[in-house]
Structure 1
Amino acid sequence: MIRAALILLFLAVPAAAQDAGASARAAGERLEAAQRRLDAAEGGQDRVEALTETIRAFEAGLAAMRTGLREASIREAALSRRLDARQTEVAQLLGVLQALSTAEAPQQLLHPEGPLGAARSGMLVAAVTPGLAAEAAELRRDLEEVATVRALQQEAEETLQDGLTGVQEARARLSRAIADRTDLPKRFTADPVRTAILIAATETLDAFASGLAEIAAGEEVASDGDIADRKGALPLPVQGQVLRQAGEADAAGVERPGIVVATRPQALVTAPTAGTLRYRGPLLDYGQVSILEPQPDLLFVFAGLGTVYGEIGEVLPEGAPVGLMGGAPASPSGEGALSPASETLYMEVREGQGPVDPLTWFATDKG
């Protein structure tokens, strides 16, 4: 359903939206594949993986849908402005065409200067008429395009609401599947007392991350593997755009070593690579935080989530859900469906005992 509506929508808008249409078609194929995988899922982890891919496909399709709707709105506004600017010209053109079409033949042959003047006027009208007809045809095409774009917008908006309902249902099913999951390996058991003491004793994320290695009870000595060869190519854990670079001051003048990614409410955050969940829960003024250890002496910190998944000590596979962003989801009735990204995910990467620029590890659409 999403793919069919998108194909129609993007045929009526510029090339940028048609690129979004290709993305939406790909997302629709992903969604169908994820549904087949979900139908075939047997174990808890299989269902979690299938639901995660379902949500990812929904988010990609909805993002492309929003892009197309914005492009359609821009196109409609441009056409409306063009028609408004030519309102006087249109009125004059219609008057001339109406006069030409309603004048009786004997009256068209009369001219104050006699037969020669009538002949000259006839030649002038013959020369001007094709141009007037072309102008009328162009205006008619513009009016028809406005009507077509409006109709396609309405259809696409209805499809968007169906997609919003679908992704909300998938998020709820994912939360239940994660709660029921029992088949993930576990590297160590969390020590809640020592964790609470560490949180109370630290005032910065830097100090907390540095102390994490000391609070794992009965940790198995193992490695998740070396991912150095993937440095600079890891996908961002959430669909969004980098809003602030590492070391760039925010509105309050505060500089942090991580990056800020702008996302939509309730966006899914996933593990960019396999790793041990070192911590998840509230931390200082960062909201809900998840800290993933892909390999020894390397930590990925995700802060500002609304919901966090998993148990401390679990080894999460690549692509596993880490949590959801906060904020209220867009209303299925349409309110907020096209609103800009309003949530922010803060990301830090720590090598050894210090932070590094996360963009040395993660790839973005801006290269």
Structure 2
Amino acid sequence: MIRALVLLVGLWPAILLAQDGATLAQDAGAQLQEAAAQLDAADSARDRVKALTATIQAYEAGLAAMRDGLRRASLRETQLTRQLEARDGEVAGFLGTLQTIGATPSPTSFLHPDGPTGTARAGMLLAELTPALNARAAGLRRDLEDVQNLRAIQTEAAAQMQRGLSGVQTARTELSKAMAERTDLPRRFTEDPVNTAILIESSETLGAFSAEISNIAQDEQAVSLPDLAARIGDLPLPVRGLVLRGANEADAAGIARPGILLGTLPGALVTSPTAATVRYQGPLLDLGQVVILEPQPDTLFIFAGLGAVYVQTGEVVATDAPIGLMGGLSTAAAATEMSQEGEGSGTARSETLYIEVRQDNVPQDPASWFRQGKDG
């Protein structure tokens, strides 16, 4: 399965040859080839999960490059088409002039009211005008050819993107199976379901829940996790997306939260930015499916709005380990995932992930913890 997908991604740079996204597509193809090699060599469930995670990430990067390339091609085609439509009158005039110039001259066409001098001047003007008209006609031909080429690029790229979406969905399904079959994740503690239920029922805010989250653990063991201090400000975002709302920015209802909101495409892969303990996973308050990670004592990463969750409370996950998928995977969502509309503004991203960072249960601005840029 993956070998066929590698060949597919290998075609993306050719489709985007005239676009800035070609380099990104080439990088994604290289990533996918490496992931395929990892999958071929996988001897354990852990190796298979790692390879499939890399496969999905490579697909998401490649598809993002294709969407950007298609958007650029579409904008350029629209621009050229409007320019040509605005010059319809000029084109008609060029054609008429060129046809007159190219017609077989009759003897009277060389006569001029001012006599031989006027005829000579007219001939000189005509000699100067002809190259200019030919040059402008050649420019129009190039613009028309550009429009035709851009339309061909979009048609082929749309077909390739459709196959790419099918490929990444296959990889998502395989990853879900691999995570369900995996039994080798280390566990720091077991969850006390009674205490968990009591805490959920009694907590009215995220802060109240976070303050008592340690009470749901039993038989907890000490674990050694990498020091996070040197990576603060340079952690990768857990999902590919665009920041739609910053910390403490009010939403349409006037509600401000201390976290940031990312817009993502349906089914986007959510991974752990660093090694961490899963302190909680499940529905919580009005936040939907929530995963709370503890990368170091008294520090919590809260991710809310997932569609599917792979991890269990009490487990210890590694850096870049898959923790779930965004929701929205449906027939209707496929059209959203194919769309390039609003790619730069995030309006085409139908799913949202809320990210909050708490240190000693005091909210921190996630922008000071995570790298932020276009498309994650």
Distance verdict in 2 for CA 1:69–1:330, change over 3 Å: farther
Q: Residue 353 of structure 1: CA displacement?
A: 2.2
Distance verdict in 2 for CA 1:329–1:318, change over 3 Å: farther
1:225 equivalenced with 2:233 (yes/no): no
Out of 321, 343, 350, which is 2:351 matched to?
A: 343
CA contact (8 A) 1:245 1:259 kept: yes
Cα distance per residue 1:272-300 (max 9 Å; x no partner): 00111111111111010001111111111
CA distance in 2, matches of 1:198, 1:181: 29
CA contact (8 A) 1:309 1:323 kept: yes
**TM-score normalised by L of structure 2:** 0.92
CA contact (8 A) 1:223 1:296 kept: no
SS for the counterpart of 2:212 is: helix
SS for the counterpart of 1:284 is: coil
CA contact (8 A) 1:265 1:330 kept: no
Cα distance per residue 1:326-355 (max 9 Å; x no partner): 113576985651151121100111111221
1:43 equivalenced with 2:44 (yes/no): yes
Residue 284 of structure 1 is matched in structure 2 by 285
CA distance in 1, matches of 2:157, 2:332: 16
Residue 143 of structure 1 is matched in structure 2 by 144
CA distance in 2, matches of 1:6, 1:108: 56
CA distance in 1, matches of 2:244, 2:164: 26
CA contact (8 A) 2:12 2:22 kept: no
Q: Residue 113 of structure 1: CA displacement?
A: 4.3
Distance verdict in 2 for CA 1:134–1:332, change over 3 Å: farther
Residue 263 of structure 1 is matched in structure 2 by 264
Alignment of 1:298-309 (within 5 A): 298-309=299-310
Segments of 5+ residues of structure 2 without an aligned counterpart are 1-7, 342-347
CA contact (8 A) 1:190 1:217 kept: yes
Segments of 5+ residues of structure 1 without an aligned counterpart are 12-16
CA contact (8 A) 1:161 1:332 kept: no
Residue 14 of structure 1 is matched in structure 2 by none
SS for the counterpart of 2:166 is: helix
Cα distance per residue 1:70-111 (max 9 Å; x no partner): 000010011011101111011001000011112335354344
Cα distance per residue 1:95-134 (max 9 Å; x no partner): 0001111233535434444443332221111010011011
Give % identity: 55
The residue type equivalent to 2:214 in the other structure is: A
CA distance in 2, matches of 1:78, 1:206: 51
Residue 72 of structure 2 is matched in structure 1 by 71
Out of 6, 9, 22, which is 1:2 matched to?
A: 9
CA contact (8 A) 2:336 2:350 kept: no
CA contact (8 A) 2:266 2:333 kept: no
Which stretch shifts more, 309-318 or 323-332? 323-332
CA distance in 1, matches of 2:336, 2:313: 37
CA distance in 2, matches of 1:168, 1:70: 22
SS for the counterpart of 2:237 is: coil
Distance verdict in 2 for CA 1:333–1:186, change over 3 Å: closer
CA contact (8 A) 1:277 1:292 kept: yes
Q: Residue 5 of structure 1: CA displacement?
A: 3.5
> Cα RMSD between the aligned structures?
1.8
CA distance in 2, matches of 1:343, 1:330: 15
CA contact (8 A) 1:330 1:337 kept: no
The residue type equivalent to 1:5 in the other structure is: W
- Number of residues of Structure 1 aligned to a counterpart in Structure 2: 361
CA distance in 2, matches of 1:304, 1:335: 18
Residue 361 of structure 1 is matched in structure 2 by 369
Alignment of 1:128-277 (within 5 A): 128-277=129-278
Q: Residue 248 of structure 1: CA displacement?
A: 1.1
Residue 124 of structure 1 is matched in structure 2 by 125
Which stretch shifts more, 222-231 or 53-62? 222-231
**TM-score normalised by L of structure 1:** 0.94
The residue type equivalent to 2:273 in the other structure is: P
CA contact (8 A) 1:162 1:332 kept: no
Cα distance per residue 1:291-334 (max 9 Å; x no partner): 11111111110001111111211110110111111113576985
CA distance in 2, matches of 1:146, 1:253: 45
The residue type equivalent to 2:359 in the other structure is: E
SS for the counterpart of 2:101 is: helix
The residue type equivalent to 1:344 in the other structure is: T
Q: Residue 210 of structure 1: CA displacement?
A: 1.2
Q: Residue 65 of structure 1: CA displacement?
A: 0.3
The residue type equivalent to 1:314 in the other structure is: E
Distance verdict in 2 for CA 1:101–1:332, change over 3 Å: farther
